[in-house]
Structure 1
């Protein structure tokens, strides 16, 4: 078997794009669409949380133990969280105590002032817990994809550039060969010189 590349392959300047180029390019808006879908999900969840907070404010008296949904700024990002308001008598001021998602339902007060609407508040807390969990999953999915894409690009950017430079050198060396099947690459073709000859079958 000869290792000689047919001259017609070397003299044809037309480079055909891979047949799946359109499919690859279509993945770009598809990824953007997926991110947009998750973004709309988060926006919808935030809207429902705002409605729940309004109901919580109406159903509970202005007493220690009142639950509300507030927005906390953490690591440069604003996130919703359920807080329990506590009145500190000696300081004559209110302070908010952030609650974990696992303790939302059991944190609902059922004393005299809160008793009448305690069942409704508990149901709102169940819904809040589900919404906060879903919101976190949606954001985590977007962040995980973005992080993975950034890492993959950063880890391979230089490698791809080197591969491309080597490929261009190889193709240029092949293109500079004569049409004679007995011709050999000249000493100015380092890429070809590094290639080990294959044994004929």
Structure 2
């Protein structure tokens, strides 16, 4: 089993790296825009898809929404970013939910701390499927593997998890499009 202290240190380092990256993008937007646009446009949507896919599937220490924010501030077209991030989210959520259904808590116990599983499990016991909806919009962990292991139905996962999370990507993308400079 992985040491939770090591995971927290790694999570903090990754969060700091993404925050620094975000700040640098804002500070050096002109230079980055000129130098990186051609390269990132070639790989940008693929990178966004893979990034969102991995961040939605694996234990979430940083939000996949950060990728959408960075791409928008780099000046990419909003609609392709939103569509690709939603596709990455859907594929990752379906795979994670399926893995949770098939392997149950054997897999969950290997990936997540007891504290995380306990919080989500008690939230599901207390609020039912509404906790999935809350985690799709609010900064609660959105973890499809755990939702699948807690016997949430596929229908409820689509209604309370996948669709609201996709809407959150769209709202973020279109909302930030008005703020870009």
Give the shorter-chain TM-score range: under 0.3
Greater Rg by CA:
1
Q: Which TM-score applies when normalising by structure 1?
A: 0.23
Higher strand share: 1
Higher helix share: 2
* Larger RCO, structure (CA 8 Å, separation 6 or more): 2
Q: Which TM-score applies when normalising by structure 2?
A: 0.25
